[in-house]
């Protein structure tokens, strides 16, 4: 199953050092049966993109929790076999049973430098947006207007070197 794992730049640095990725609390997002039911229509590609966007939003929470984190959303796409569906948390949430090896990673998605200010602002209001604050939701939308860039796993060292 293709999963989308929220990350930070610091977590990507750990991936490069250790050769495996550890999702915070084992949480990832995927095209699950519950996600498919939540949408009236949509191709698999569109629903996979919805799961990716959920992971990007979760990345904001991770950035907010880091003391000196770099303000760029990051998502790791990986193909894994063993996941537990967690529709009790949200339609796209799955729980991974352990670390993800670099060989399982299909792609890495990261904000460009131009998104840093919007991402920093959004990370600071993510909890308020989740609680329905319309002003916070507007700030969040500014960050989500930025598309994540796609990188192949073998490009990770070069990506991190340029940061």
Q: What is the pLDDT of residues 112-158, one digit of tens each?
A: 999 999 999 999 999 999 899 999 999 999 999 999 999 999 999 99
Predicted confidence at residue 39, as pLDDT, reads: 83
Q: Coil, helix or strand for 62? A: helix
Question: Which residues of the chain are modeled with pLDDT < 70?
Answer: none
Rounded Cα distance between 42 and 47, Å, is 6
Q: How far is CA 4 from CA 54, 95, 99, 117, 161, in A?
A: 8, 11, 13, 24, 23
Predicted confidence at residue 122, as pLDDT, reads: 96
Predicted confidence at residue 47, as pLDDT, reads: 92
Domain boundaries, the chain: 2-152
Stated pTM of the model: 0.93
């Amino acid at each position: 199953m293709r999963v989308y794992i929220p990350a930070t730049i610091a977590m990507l640095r750990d991936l490069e050092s250790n050769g495996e990725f550890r999702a915070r609390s084992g949480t990832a997002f995927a095209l699950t049966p519950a996600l498919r039911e939540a949408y009236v229509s949509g191709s698999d590609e569109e629903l996979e993109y919805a799961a990716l966007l959920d992971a990007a939003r979760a990345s904001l929470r991770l950035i907010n929790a880091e003391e000196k984190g770099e303000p760029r959303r990051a998502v790791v796409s990986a193909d894994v076999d063993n996941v537990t569906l967690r529709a009790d948390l949200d339609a796209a949430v799955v729980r991974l049973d352990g670390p993800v090896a670099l060989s399982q990673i299909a792609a890495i998605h990261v904000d460009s430098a131009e998104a840093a200010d919007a991402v920093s602002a959004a990370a600071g209001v993510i909890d308020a947006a989740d609680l329905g604050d319309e002003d916070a939701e507007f700030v969040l939308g500014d960050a989500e207007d930025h598309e994540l860039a796609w990188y192949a796993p073998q490009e990770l060292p070069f990506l991190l070197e340029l940061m």
